[in-house]
Amino acid sequence: MYLAIAGNIGSGKSALTALLAEAFGLKPVYEAVSENPYLEDFYRNMGAYAFHSQVFFLARRVRQHLLQVNGNPRVVQDRTVYEDAFVFAKNLYREGFLSRRDWETYMDLFQSVSPALRKPDLLIYLRASLPTLRARIRKRGRPFEQNLPDRYLLSLNALYEEFVASWDLCPVEVVEADRLDFVEREEDRLALLEALKRRIRP
């Protein structure tokens, strides 16, 4: 069983990864945000560091996938390589922060490695509105995230909706993160686990 957790910045992916790992006996695989040496520079100057940051995430995510996901019978992953390509890198290209040459090089890298990667058994998409994202970004307090433009987060939300609508590698479970606060409210946490229990094989 391989669960993939998808969602925008601040939607609750890491918290849900930890919750499902504990509840269903899964190995958690977390996004390498703190390891990205380009990330703070990227948030200060997206045009200058977009390609560097995205290639770092692609390389690290592929390594995670090959070493921790492919051979593990029970795993839950905080964001996938597919989102890196079809949400984050695509948004940077659409917004002009990635040139056509860099975008095509990035996608060539992605398409070269993706056949070697195990496909998820279930994609869980955390759908969250801008106010929810903003509140959660403030709460976790990463300095380089605090000044993200609303337009950037909204563009990512729109691309996530496109991404989920076209996703065909496995079933999708949509979690309305505006309604369900599985971090702060125990009743929401229990309700979510009960709803997912029928989708997650023992």
Render 53-103 in DSSP notation, one character per residue: HHHHHHHHHHHHIIIIITT-SSEEEES-HHHIIIIIIHHHHHTTSS-HHHH
Helix (H) or strand (E) holding 24: helix 13-24
- Given 78, 102, 168, 178, which residue is catalytic? 78
- 78 has catalytic annotation: yes
Q: What's the sign of the alpha-carbon dihedral 111, 117, 165, 51? A: negative
Q: How far is CA 143 from the centre of its chain?
A: 19
Catalytic residues, by residue number, are 78
